[in-house]
């Protein structure tokens, strides 16, 4: 494998947590494979979670979305946001690791998304903006590593919490694939701390990191190929009876 | 209608935004209907978004989830969290209003969920904990008011962003219904600022507020009725071919 660069974005409030141990295993494994690894440990960095006008420097725009675009164009975004954008641009692989809190990322990681994937970098308001399979981060691979307190069955296809793959769709498809990255199937550790042995978790995580390059990405549909001018899936593209988020993967 | 009490949780960074105008319309409408209205304007309150050990006061617990439970039991949660819990307990109706950012709530509102719906209030680790249709907030009604920059078609059943009802499922079902509340269909304002007239938005919002009491909640399935001991939906409960989040509403 060529020398690769991985950016690991990590959020857990407890420095000695199971998640922290898994993060260290991940870094060690990746470095052992020859990757250069950068880590954004959001709690340790005291990452600012709330996107607001302070992110933009002086602005003449009233509307938030316009002020964001102005800051991107002028290069006046705050240094913490710029640094994360640069680490993303430099990486081949992006990993988000977090505990599932209320069925999505902790607020501090949502704040990483809100602030880093700002107007001009993560999205644009033009109809010509490249998205869903293309964008500034095209050519990179992204993978989620998530721990859940909930049991495996509760997050299974008929589980009461909803299927974990559907719960992760807004992040994997709506954030990461949106910005151009290819999405590898997530590493999901359910029943963390009571249902799953630590040794088994590490084995799974290592295996997935060792096979990053040859793992097949989720076959999300590209905006340019399978959708009409109103961004609706073209008729007949899906197996009969498919509904919901499943429509958007081939 | 009896005198009612509504708690409106609101997040937008711009004090003169479309969302702010809609919030003011909502408060005025509700007060006109005789509701007592409390507003948690998260940006204006400088709401702390990041859940961390500082939320708990002195603790002897190492693990975050245990420290949260200890703080709940000792009554040592921070004053801002306690105040929101009290407002929720006092309310008949809870409204969350936000712009859709990266297909879910802004980080500051995720932080409201992470911190207010803490171990002991929003969830418990016991198998006997009442959830999904029952819990501390049972008997109340909740409704989302959400604005999107994306067009209506993009968030429709076959839209590339995913169906807005699926995108809201983790919040409506996973957070609000989980804690016991009944969930009214959301007020969704797509193409905010360019596709929808302000007068039409206000008309829709007012109508939904005026009919809060008689609107039929989403028929999410109760944990105690439709799931097996592993919290999987019992066979045959759904129309043939149903998959994904749609399984969890009758």
Q: What ipTM is given for this predicted complex?
A: 0.97
Q: How far is B77 from chain A (nearest CA, A)?
A: 16
| CB burial readout A136-169, b (16+ within 10 A) else e | bbeebbbbbbbbbbbbbbbbbebbbbbbbbbbbb
Task: Compute the distance between CA of residue B249 and CA of residue B105 in angstroms, rounded to an integer.
Answer: 22
Cross-chain Cβ contact B103/A170 below 8 Å: yes
- Which pLDDT tens digits describe chain A residue by residue (250 residues)? 457 999 999 999 999 999 999 999 999 999 999 999 999 999 999 999 999 999 999 998 989 999 999 999 999 999 999 999 999 999 999 999 999 999 999 999 999 999 999 999 999 988 889 999 999 999 999 999 999 999 999 999 999 999 999 999 999 999 999 999 999 999 999 998 788 899 999 999 999 999 999 999 999 999 999 999 999 999 999 999 999 999 999 9
State whether A214 and A226 are in the same domain: no
pLDDT of the residue at A196: 82
- pLDDT at position B196, please? 82
Is residue B94 within a helix (H) or strand (E), and if so which, with residue range? strand B93-99
User: What is the span of the domain harbouring residue A248?
Assistant: 219-250
- CATH code (residue A94): 3.40.50.360
B162: pLDDT strictly greater than 80: yes
Helix A107-116 with B107-116: angle, nearest 10 deg:
180
Per-position DSSP letters for A113-149, written without gaps between them:
HHHHS-BTTTB-SSTT---SS-STTTT-EEEEEEE-S
Cβ-based contacts of A247 with chain B (< 8 Å): 158
Residue B136 · residue B94 · CB < 8 Å: no
| Residues A236, A200 share a domain | no
Beta-ladder partners of A143:
A95
Can you give the length of chain A in residues? 250
Q: What is the mean pLDDT of chain B?
A: 96
Q: Are residues B84 and B187 in the same domain?
A: yes
Overall number of domains in chain A:
2
Question: How many angstroms away from the CA of B224 is the closest CA of chain A?
Answer: 11
Note which residues in 67-96 of chain B have CB less than 8 A from chain A.
none
Q: Quick: pLDDT tens for B49-65.
A: 999 999 999 998 989 99
Q: Residues A207, A127: one domain?
A: yes
Kindly state whether residues A234 and A141 are assigned to the same domain.
no
- A248 contacts in B (CB within 8 Å)? 160, 162
Q: Are B202 and B246 in the same domain? A: no
Q: Nearest by CB to A166, which of B14, B159, B245?
A: B245
**A202 and B CB contact within 8 Å:** no
Quick one: average pLDDT of B199-217? 97
> B144 near B187, Cβ under 8 Å?
yes
pLDDT digits (tens, 9 = 90+) for B69-91: 999 999 999 999 999 999 999 99
| Interface contact A160, partner B, CB < 8 A | yes
Whose CA is closest to A42, among A1, A83, A90, A91? A83
Alpha helices in chain B (DSSP H): 18-32, 64-74, 79-90, 107-116, 164-171, 198-210, 223-226
Q: Is A242 exposed, middle or buried (0-12, 13-18, 19+ CB in 10 A)?
A: middle
Can you say whether the dihedral through the CA atoms of A233, A238, A240, A244 is positive or negative?
negative
Q: State percent of chain B over pLDDT 90.
A: 94
Chain A nearest-CA distance from B204, in A, is 23
For A162, which of B108, B111, B170 is closest by C-beta distance?
B170
The answer to whether the CB atoms of A162 and B175 lie below 8 A apart is: no
Interface test with A, best of B110, B157, B238, B245 (most A CBs within 10 A): B110
- Please tell me if residue B139 touches chain A, with a CB cutoff of 8 Å: no
Instruction: Looking at the complex, report in whole angstroms how far the Cα of residue B74 sits from the nearest Cα belonging to chain A.
Output: 21
Q: Are B100 and B128 in a shared domain?
A: yes
Instruction: Report the pLDDT value the prediction gives residue A45, as an integer from 0 to 100.
Output: 98
Q: Give CA–CA dist B220/B180, Å, rounded.
A: 11
A170, A194, A229: which to substitute to probe chain B, counting the most B Cβ within 10 Å?
A170
User: Rounded to a whole number, what is the distance in Å from the CA of B214 to chain A's nearest CA?
Assistant: 27
**Owner of token pair 């974005």:** A9
Does one domain contain both B213 and B165? yes
Picking from B101, B158, B241, the nearest residue to A114 by CB comes out as B101
Same domain assignment for residues A227 and A238: yes
The H-or-E segment that residue A38 falls in is strand A36-41
Residues A134 and A207 in one domain: yes
Q: Which of A9, A157, A160 to mutate to test the interface with B (most CBs of B within 10 A)?
A: A160
The answer on B128 and B13 residing in a single domain is yes
Same domain, residue pair A250 and A145: no
Of the candidates A51, A103, A246, which has its C-beta nearest B244's C-beta?
A246
Give me the residue from B63, B158, B162 closest to A174, CB to CB: B162
The pLDDT assigned to A2 comes to 58
Token pair in block for residue A186: 């997530």
> pLDDT band for position B1 (50/70/90)?
very low
| Chain A, chain B: beta-carbon pairs less than 8 Å apart | 204
Residues on chain B touching A43 (C-beta within 8 angstroms) = 50, 52
The secondary element (H helix, E strand) that includes residue B229 is none
**To the nearest whole angstrom, how far is the Cα of A108 from the nearest Cα of chain B?**
6
B160 reaches A (C-beta below 8 A): yes
For chain A, say whether B108 makes contact (Cβ under 8 Å): yes
């Amino acid at each position: 494998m060529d020398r690769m660069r991985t950016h690991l974005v990590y959020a857990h409030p407890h420095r000695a947590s199971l998640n922290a141990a898994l993060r260290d295993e991940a870094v060690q494994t990746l470095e052992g494979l020859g990757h250069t690894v950068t880590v954004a440990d959001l709690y340790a960095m005291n990452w600012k979670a709330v996107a607001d006008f302070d992110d933009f420097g002086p602005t003449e725009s009233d509307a938030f979305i316009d002020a964001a675009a102005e800051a991107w164009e002028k290069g006046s975004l705050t240094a913490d946001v710029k640094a994360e954008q640069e680490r993303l641009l430099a990486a081949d692989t992006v990993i988000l690791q977090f505990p599932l809190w209320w069925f999505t990322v902790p607020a501090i990681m949502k704040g990483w998304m809100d602030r880093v994937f700002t107007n001009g970098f993560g999205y644009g308001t033009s109809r010509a903006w490249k998205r869903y399979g293309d964008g500034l981060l095209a050519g990179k691979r992204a993978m989620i590593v998530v721990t859940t307190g909930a049991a495996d069955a509760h997050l299974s296809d008929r589980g009461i919490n909803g299927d974990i793959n559907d719960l992760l769709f807004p992040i994997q498809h709506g954030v990461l694939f949106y910005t151009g990255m290819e999405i590898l199937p997530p590493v999901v550790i359910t029943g963390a701390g009571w249902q799953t042995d630590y040794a088994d978790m590490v084995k799974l995580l290592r295996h997935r990191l060792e096979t990053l390059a040859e793992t097949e990405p989720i076959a999300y549909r590209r905006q340019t190929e399978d959708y009409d001018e109103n961004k609706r899936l073209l008729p007949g593209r899906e197996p009969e009876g498919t509904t919901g988020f499943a429509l958007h993967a081939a």
